[in-house]
Amino acid sequence: MKTLMILFGLLISQAIAVGSEPFFTAPGSVSGSTRGHSWFFTVAEAADSSFTQADRDRITRLEVKLEEGLKAVNQKIDDGLKAVNQRLDDNIKAINQKFDYVIGLMYVMLSGMFVLVGFILWDRRTTLAPVVRTTKELEARVEKAEKLELAIREKAEKDPELKEALKHAGLL
């Protein structure tokens, strides 16, 4: 901050020195007086007189050090960002691998379910086939029995002995 103040004073003193008349004069001085009577020039000259070549060299060195420090800070920030990006990339790869593993497990589960449904359908067919066959045989036998019963009833209408036997058996 002190360096900035010195630089500002130097710039102001150079700008004022270009004009012939000072901007401000000390109280009680005559306007249009020489440069030595201006209190502003006195401050500027004091700043100018205290600012030597050694000060300029020191400012230059400070600027170089400041630039080097900024470069070092920028490099550290860049290295940190690269490290963070690398960690994020590694984490994303790990997450993707786990996600691929979970998707693989889901495919295995779906395949297992399809196989199970297929087995159930196959088993149902193989289990039901004998039942269907037996049912058809029984239906055929029932149909034959109904026809036989109808024929016997017709015969029983003509034969009283047969009619009496069917009544005794509970078929009429």
Q: Is the pLDDT of residue 26 over 50?
A: no
Q: Where are the domains of the chain?
A: 1-51
Question: Per-residue confidence at 45, pLDDT binned at 50, 70, 90?
Answer: low
Average the pLDDT over 143-162 and give the result.
88
Q: State whether the Cα torsion 47-52-53-55 is positive or negative.
A: negative
Q: pTM higher than 0.75 for the full model?
A: no
> 3-state DSSP call for residue 172?
coil
Using CA atoms, how far apart are residues 57 and 144, in angstroms rounded to an integer? 128
